[in-house]
């Protein structure tokens, strides 16, 4: 089973049914129930914060919280997570050696973890 590290942008895009996220999932044949998903504690906190900022209903807030708890939540000290983030951040800035951004994408118009979703899996 493959493992993916996802960021807030991808999770939120999935919840909202954003075309680029849903198409990516479909193209990869992914369903969030048939892969191992890792998120950082920061992503978990950001999602909870977004729920409060956007005034989600109590039911939606609890449903999203329950959904997030199905994923492996990693503390910030995880060296593996920090390394993956460093690679993804460098990629999103167009500065990862031998892995240029696709034509038309920039750090301004892509979620950092789109790269993670497409390229970075931990075995």
Out of 10-14, 72-76, 88-92, pick the least confident.
88-92
Q: Residue 44's CB: how many other CB atoms inside 10 A?
A: 18
Q: Residue 53's CB: how many other CB atoms inside 10 A?
A: 9
Residue 20 has pLDDT above 50, yes or no: yes
State residue 117's pLDDT score. Answer: 46
Chain segment 42-87, per-residue pLDDT in tens: 889 889 988 988 899 999 999 999 999 999 998 877 677 677 777 7
Domain topology for 3-118: Rossmann fold (3.40.50)
Average pLDDT of the chain? 78
Question: How far does the chain reach from its first CA to its final CA, in angstroms?
Answer: 9
Higher pLDDT, 49 or 31: 49
């Amino acid at each position: 089973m493959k493992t993916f590290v996802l960021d807030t942008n991808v999770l939120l895009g999935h919840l909202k049914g954003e075309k680029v996220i849903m198409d990516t999932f479909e193209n990869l044949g992914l369903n969030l129930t048939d892969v191992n998903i890792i998120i950082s504690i920061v992503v978990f906190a950001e999602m909870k914060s977004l729920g409060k900022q956007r005034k989600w209903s109590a039911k939606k807030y609890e449903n999203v919280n329950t959904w997030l708890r199905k994923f492996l939540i990693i503390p910030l000290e995880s060296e593996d997570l920090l390394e993956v983030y460093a690679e993804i951040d460098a990629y999103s800035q167009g500065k990862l050696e031998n892995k240029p951004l696709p034509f038309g994408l920039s750090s301004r118009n892509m979620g950092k973890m789109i790269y993670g979703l497409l390229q970075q899996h931990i075995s």
